[in-house]
Chains A and B, each alone.
Chain A
Amino acid sequence: MNTPMAREQSLVEAFVRLADTLVDDYDVIELFHGLCADCVALLGADAAGLLLTDQRDSLQVVSASNEQAHLIELFQLQSEQGPCLDCFRTSEVVMADDLARETRWPAFSARAHDYGFAAVHALPMRLRGQTIGALNLFHREPLTLSGGDLGVGQALADVATIAILSDRNARQRELLTEQLQAALTSRVVIEQAKGVLAERGALDLDQAFLRLREHARATNQRISELAQGIVVGTYDTTMLLRRPR
């Protein structure tokens, strides 16, 4: 990722991967996860988190690249303050280059510091006048995100938003709801499957997710379908839980 050429190559790959979701069926869980991973890899963020509206007047954390990012996103939701919420409410980019000097969200800034974050940037997920969530980039050092990086981050968020709301049918408004709710349900099934695997394999939940993901890849299934099979009991987890190597 150090040379401009390598970065350009990675960027192209990320967008090709996202564009694939527009022409093919895709797994929304992989999309969420890939988006956070791309932000870390391509923009040099130390962590990334993704929040989507649940259309009940609240947001849900649907993906986070690590545990601290997950916790700080949850904290924003519980304390009802933070850059991500402001970003969602205003549909504008919110930048906090140095949380030590930040006055807008005192409780959030203090908690972010506890988790080791010094800067946060929040990018809106929006399409045709609808804002469906926000993407957060976390940095461990104070940082002003360059215009170029901000542009790349917003482009990733835009393409992901289009993919989530991919059905180009006339019933836009209804479909937005149907697709958003379906995306949130996919995530619930993943969490249930993580719980089943954590219990059966005496794993922690992050390990359970990794196993789930690796096994989906190794057996060429979608992670959402595998999770569904595990939770409804039609998929035998013996092989999946066998210690690798």
Chain B
Amino acid sequence: MVDRVGLGRALTAALSDDGPEAALAVCRACVTWLPMTGASITVMDGAQGQEPVCATDPGAARIDELQFSLGEGPCVEAFSSGRAVLVPDIAEPGEGRWPMFTAAAVETGARGMFVFPLRAGASRLGVLDCYRDTPGHLDDTELAGALLAADAAMWALLDRLDHRAGEAGRSPSPWYDGSALARAEVHQATGMLMAQAGTAAPTALAALRAAAFLGDRGITEIAADVVARRLRLDPDGSWHVSSNGAAASAEPPHQRGDDEREGREDP
């Protein structure tokens, strides 16, 4: 049984660290609060380009390295398919998906491997790779915990894109808005910001998080302002407050999530 509260606190604390430290702290939280032996985060760009960001131990680093030198393995598959790849036991004889990788990985003592793609919708950023030295499925609470850690890992990678949010460590209230990724308006706002500023999805999502951090508001609140056309993002990354809502639009603003958007108007 995973201690969700403990894990949640650890992830929140992890995201108050800056840049690479945040990513490593997320991996450490996986090892401390989930039944994992090691964890690593790799940034990937297509099949060739990958950059190890952090690993909790030499075993985790070795597992990453093996996959990228062999060009096969659960990380490569998770990234190329965009799907989680959950392997209860890589040493299981029936597990024949990555013969070269498996033969080498078993040497490191790894048995269960659980890899989660880190993606901002259409854009793939990399993977969170967790392994353990015992075989077995993740139970429901372990899976839920690992998915939360993957959400946190994605925010940690996004903070590398927008350092305004990475400075959260100096905030009186460092935060981790895990549920924001479940909300439609966050992704709608991401799309609108992409079109406004001419950026890719990760940069737009990072800008949303940075604005939320700087204004000490929820990401969903900022997103609702964007969707209602009260806030715009310029190509240079600066925010623009529109006083009369749908100024630039021919259509009335679309109202959604009106419960959580009371009061404050500035980002």
Q: Which residues of A come within 8 Å of B, CB atoms?
A: 54-58, 60-61, 67, 70-71, 74-75, 78, 173-174, 177-178, 181-182, 185, 187-189, 191-200, 202-207, 227-228, 231-233
**Count, chain B residues at interface, CB 8 A:** 48
The answer to whether A57 touches B84, judged by C-beta atoms less than 8 angstroms apart, is: no
Q: Known: A204-B252, A205-B254. Is A191-B191 also a contact (CB below 8 A)?
A: yes
Q: Which residues of B come within 8 Å of A, CB atoms?
A: 4, 82-88, 119, 121-123, 137, 140, 143-144, 147-148, 151, 178-179, 181-182, 184-185, 187-196, 200-201, 227, 248-254, 256-257, 259
> A residues within 8 A CB of B196?
199
> What are the nearest 3 A-B pairs in CB distance?
A195-B191, A191-B187, A199-B195
The answer to whether A228 touches B122, judged by C-beta atoms less than 8 angstroms apart, is: yes
Q: Quick one: which of A181, A192, A193, A233 has the most chain B CB within 10 A?
A: A192
Out of B251, B257, B259, which one reaches A203, CB within 8 Å? B251
- The residue of chain A having its C-beta at the shortest distance from the C-beta of B197 within the complex is A199
Q: State A74–B185 Cα separation when bound (angstroms).
A: 11
Does more than half of chain A's interface fall in helix, strand or loop, or is it mixed? helix
The answer to whether A56 touches B121, judged by C-beta atoms less than 8 angstroms apart, is: no
The answer to whether B189 touches A173, judged by C-beta atoms less than 8 angstroms apart, is: no
The answer to whether A182 touches B254, judged by C-beta atoms less than 8 angstroms apart, is: no
The answer to whether A56 touches B144, judged by C-beta atoms less than 8 angstroms apart, is: yes
Q: Known: A58-B179, A178-B86, A205-B254. Is A199-B123 also a contact (CB below 8 A)?
A: no
> A residues within 8 A CB of B179?
58
Does more than half of chain B's interface fall in helix, strand or loop, or is it mixed? helix
The answer to whether B137 touches A205, judged by C-beta atoms less than 8 angstroms apart, is: no
> A residues within 8 A CB of B254?
198, 204-206
The answer to whether A231 touches B144, judged by C-beta atoms less than 8 angstroms apart, is: no
The answer to whether B194 touches A191, judged by C-beta atoms less than 8 angstroms apart, is: no
- The residue of chain A having its C-beta at the shortest distance from the C-beta of B191 within the complex is A195
The answer to whether B251 touches A195, judged by C-beta atoms less than 8 angstroms apart, is: no
Q: Known: A199-B192, A231-B122. Is A192-B201 also a contact (CB below 8 A)?
A: yes
The answer to whether B83 touches A194, judged by C-beta atoms less than 8 angstroms apart, is: no
> A residues within 8 A CB of B143?
55, 177
List 7 additional A-B contacts (Cβ < 8 Å) besides A58-B182, A188-B121, A196-B195.
A74-B257, A174-B85, A191-B187, A192-B190, A195-B190, A202-B249, A202-B250
- The residue of chain B having its C-beta at the shortest distance from the C-beta of A224 within the complex is B122
Q: Known: A56-B148, A195-B192. Is A181-B84 also a contact (CB below 8 A)?
A: yes
Q: State A95–B248 Cα separation when bound (angstroms).
A: 45
